[in-house]
Amino acid sequence: MTHKPQRPQPVPTAETRPFWEGAAEGALVLRRCQGCGRLAPPLAPRCPDCLCDTLLAERLSGRVMLKGRTRLHLQPLPGRTGPLTLVECAVFEDPRIVLIALDEQGVTDGALPDAILHLGFSPAEGDAHFAVVLPPEDRA
C-alpha cells in the first residue's frame, strides 16, 4: 500500500473562511468593507484602507486579469509532478488584490499581460478546493 502525498491543506480562519467556503461552491468570494466599500484580500483582518473591521462576504464574478505566470519543472506540490504553471491573477473588481491560481490546462499559454481569465476552483484535494484558471468553455 502506497501513501500518496497530499497537497498541504489550508486551515480556515475567521478571515479566510468565506473564501474557502466559496471555493467549495466554485465561486470567488471576498469580503467587502462596510465602512468604505473596498474589497479586502482573503487574509486581511480589517479593511486595508479605512481599518474598519466590518467586512461582509460577497460573491464576485470570478473574472481576473493575468499579471504573471511561472512554469515550475521541479516537483511543484506534494503528489504532483512537474511541469506546473502558477498564475498571478488580479481580481477584476479590484486589481489591487492578486491571487495565485494553477493553470493545469494551458489556458494561459501564449496569453498576453492583462488578458481576461476566469477563476474557478478544482475538485476537492483533501478538504480544500484550490484556485485554477478555467478554459473558456468551462466559464460559468
Contact residues toward Zn ion (CB under 5 A) are 33, 35-36, 38, 47, 49-50, 52
Q: Which is nearer to Zn ion, 50 or 100 (CB)?
A: 50
**Torsion angle of C-alpha atoms 43, 78, 126, 16, degrees rounded to 10:** 0
The distance of closest approach from Cβ of residue 119 to Zn ion in the complex, given in angstroms and rounded to an integer, is: 23
Q: Which is nearer to Zn ion, 30 or 47 (CB)?
A: 47
The distance of closest approach from Cβ of residue 35 to Zn ion in the complex, given in angstroms and rounded to an integer, is: 4
The distance of closest approach from Cβ of residue 97 to Zn ion in the complex, given in angstroms and rounded to an integer, is: 13
The distance of closest approach from Cβ of residue 50 to Zn ion in the complex, given in angstroms and rounded to an integer, is: 3
Q: Which is nearer to Zn ion, 51 or 124 (CB)?
A: 51
Q: Which is nearer to Zn ion, 38 or 129 (CB)?
A: 38
